[in-house]
Amino acid sequence: MKQHGQHFFNPRLVFFMAAIIVAGCDGGVESSSEHSQSSTVNMPVSSLSSAQSSEESSHSAEHSSEISSEQSSSATVEESFVYAINAGSQQPARLGGIDYQPDRFASGGTTLAVTDSIMGAADSTLFQSERYGEYTYNIPVSNANYTIVLHFAELYHTSSGERSFDVNVEGRQELLEIDLFSLAGHDGAYNHRVEGIVVEDGNLTIELISRIDNATLSGFAIYSSNGGAYEEPPEPQCTQAQRMQPAVVNYDQAITNQAQKNPPSGAFGYAIEHATQTLPNHTIFRPALDGNTKIPIVAWGNGACSNVGTEQADFLLEVASHGYLVIANGGPFGSGSNDQHETELVKAIDWAIAENNRQCSQFYQKLDVEKIATMGWSCGGGMAHYAAVDPRVDTAVALNSGIAIFGDRFDYYPRFHSPLAIFNGDQSDVAYNPGLQQFDEVDNVPIYHANYPIGHGDAYFQDNGGEFGIIAVGWLNWMLKDDLSSSGKGMFIGDNCRLCRGPWNAKHKGFD
């Protein structure tokens, strides 16, 4: 989980307007009548008051304005809702009667979610996530005139001067050197309305440019006064040869233990595949591909660093069924072993990102390439932690493992940059001591360690991975889906969390 600045984790609605301009009570843009997604709305229009300070005036271009439900105006413009995005989250949000879709259409940036209550917003959800860094949104819309309402919150800094950034819309500078803390305080909602946007190329482009620290955005809603509409990108037209469709792996051949024949518990479907043409030495475990939510990526290392990709098939299908693309090293029913380090997991990550960008791939634009984990069992857990040095990896999980037995670990420790987890068995687990030792040695990133009364490989012969299947999914939910509930972060940290009580024995450092 990448963060602002050098910290481990990042986790008032004030408009600097003329005296007649007051913030809307829900942090959103409202008109005198409630927004409806099925009808047009009358949006009050105003320009920035000349009574504003010169500092605030420098933050907004002449075409931009901000409004609230309490603002009066003699002129109204009838506008229809077009599309809205909840930036930084793969979950929908609702604000002012408008449904904000999970984040998509962004190039660049990093996402983050917090649980802080947001001042100035009746519903905090939209403002509790962000996409930060330097990045661009390209929203596919018809050529027309648009208005966009941008939503912001300062989720990290607690004083002015710590963040400054610009926002361009369709190549036009709309916000200059904006400092969210000076405008709305810490955890305060701030909305900015941009009018007069003319789209002529089929994409409404929003560009965020960092000046001090990172640019950030919590979401936006698009409206049009002259028939503008969202246009879902068409599926690419490809031949069968161009698609290079992975081959289906037979479920009954992959899972031979009758005790593990119960279907995975997740709600997203499941399949086992072998990309014989593009990734022959790995096995794919995936959910159904018919949803609108992008799928995070998990690169898996097998026990004994084995090249048998189906060796933990039941466990990996359980993970996949909760909405993850899992790529195990080794082809289905393969043989031999690998180099015990990060090589094969990095290959899996490279392939997933390439397939997400390849137009004729079944994974085209369906993967969340900004949410990547490495995970593995035993020797494969070591592979996962070695691969954690890859800058694309947001978290790494070692199950029944620990790299304290490897002499070169100190070459890797300083390069860790994201949270680690070690989930081991009891003292009968050969990884018990190496895991504890690694927890003590790692001090530059957040790390979580827990023991459960189970042997070294027992979980992988239990239906859906037993307790380890549950906590593996929970950790991924927290790290890759920003799930802060009892099915995510709440499973590991907080009052009466699952791992905070027996038979688990857990400890952690570096987490809020």
pLDDT in tens, 394-432: 999 999 999 998 999 999 999 999 999 999 999 999 999
pLDDT of residue 24: 39
Q: Indicate if 272 and 209 belong to the same structural domain.
A: no
Q: Which two tokens stand for residue 459?
A: 């979980």
Write the CATH number for 425. Answer: 3.40.50.1820
pLDDT of residue 177: 97
Q: Is the pLDDT of residue 150 over 60?
A: yes
Question: Can you name the residues that pair with 283 across neighbouring β-strands?
Answer: 328
- Under the banding of pLDDT at 50, 70 and 90, the label for residue 39 is very low
pLDDT of residue 58: 38
Q: Which two tokens stand for residue 303?
A: 């026990």
Give me the mean pLDDT over the 112-134 stretch.
Answer: 93
Q: Indicate if 187 and 284 belong to the same structural domain.
A: no
In a domain, 473, yes or no: yes
Q: Is the pLDDT of residue 121 over 80?
A: yes
Express as a percent the part of the chain with pLDDT over 90.
75
Q: Indicate if 277 and 380 belong to the same structural domain.
A: yes
Q: Which two tokens stand for residue 15?
A: 């408009």
Measured in degrees and rounded to the nearest 5, phi and psi for residue 130 equal: -155, 155
Q: Indicate if 147 and 262 belong to the same structural domain.
A: no
pLDDT in tens, 227-240: 999 999 887 789 99
Rounded Cα–Cα distance for residues 506 and 176 (Å): 47
pLDDT in tens, 446-499: 999 999 999 999 999 999 999 999 999 999 999 999 899 999 999 999 988 999
In a domain, 268, yes or no: yes
- The single residue listed with the structure tokens 């005036």 is 57
Q: Indicate if 329 and 215 belong to the same structural domain.
A: no
Residues 432, 478, 289, 300, Cα dihedral to 10°: -20
pLDDT greater at residue 259 or residue 355: 355
In a domain, 232, yes or no: no
- Under the banding of pLDDT at 50, 70 and 90, the label for residue 261 is confident
Average pLDDT of the residues of the chain: 86
Q: Indicate if 296 and 375 belong to the same structural domain.
A: yes
pLDDT of residue 27: 44
Please report the sign of the dihedral spanned by the C-alpha atoms of residue 489, residue 494, residue 499, residue 505: positive
| Domain end residue (candidates: 173, 193, 224) | 224
In a domain, 435, yes or no: yes
Q: Quick check: 326 and 300 in contact, CB under 8 A?
A: yes
pLDDT of residue 233: 87
User: How big is the chain by its Cα radius of gyration, in Å?
Assistant: 25
Write the CATH number for 216. Answer: 2.60.120.430
User: 33-42, 93-102, 222-231, 414-423: lowest mean pLDDT where?
Assistant: 33-42
How would DSSP label each residue in 185-218? -BTBEEEEEEEEEE--SSEEEEEEEEEES--EE-
pLDDT greater at residue 305 or residue 91: 305
Q: How far is CA 508 from CA 91, 317, 360, 512, in A?
A: 27, 28, 43, 10
Rounded Cα–Cα distance for residues 259 and 384 (Å): 28
pLDDT of residue 41: 46
- Report the half-sphere exposure of 143 (CA within 13 A, side-chain side): 3
CA distance between the termini of the chain: 13
pLDDT of residue 320: 98
| Domain end residue (candidates: 193, 224, 255) | 224
Give me the mean pLDDT over the 28-55 stretch.
Answer: 36
In a domain, 241, yes or no: no
Q: Indicate if 307 and 271 belong to the same structural domain.
A: yes
Q: Is the pLDDT of residue 10 over 90?
A: no
Q: Is the pLDDT of residue 70 over 70?
A: no
In a domain, 306, yes or no: yes
Q: What interhelical angle do 343-357 and 379-387 show, nearest 10?
A: 60
What's the number of domains the chain is made of? 2
Residues 442, 480, 108, 123, Cα dihedral to 10°: -120
Q: Quick check: 123 and 153 in contact, CB under 8 A?
A: no
pLDDT of residue 76: 53
Q: Is the pLDDT of residue 99 over 70?
A: yes
Range of the domain at 310: 246-509
Measured in degrees and rounded to the nearest 5, phi and psi for residue 432 equal: -55, -55
Q: Indicate if 58 and 192 belong to the same structural domain.
A: yes
pLDDT of residue 86: 97
| Domain end residue (candidates: 192, 224, 256) | 224
pLDDT in tens, 337-396: 987 799 999 999 999 999 999 999 999 989 999 999 999 999 999 999 999 999 999 999
Q: Is the pLDDT of residue 1 over 90?
A: no
Q: Indicate if 302 and 197 belong to the same structural domain.
A: no
pLDDT of residue 330: 95
pLDDT of residue 259: 85
Q: Indicate if 359 and 278 belong to the same structural domain.
A: yes
In a domain, 6, yes or no: no
Q: Is the pLDDT of residue 434 over 90?
A: yes
Q: Indicate if 185 and 282 belong to the same structural domain.
A: no
Rounded Cα–Cα distance for residues 47 and 467 (Å): 58
Give me the mean pLDDT over the 438-443 stretch.
Answer: 98
Q: Indicate if 307 and 174 belong to the same structural domain.
A: no
pLDDT of residue 244: 95
Q: Which two tokens stand for residue 129?
A: 């996530």
pLDDT of residue 57: 34
In a domain, 33, yes or no: no
Q: Which two tokens stand for residue 223?
A: 């409206």
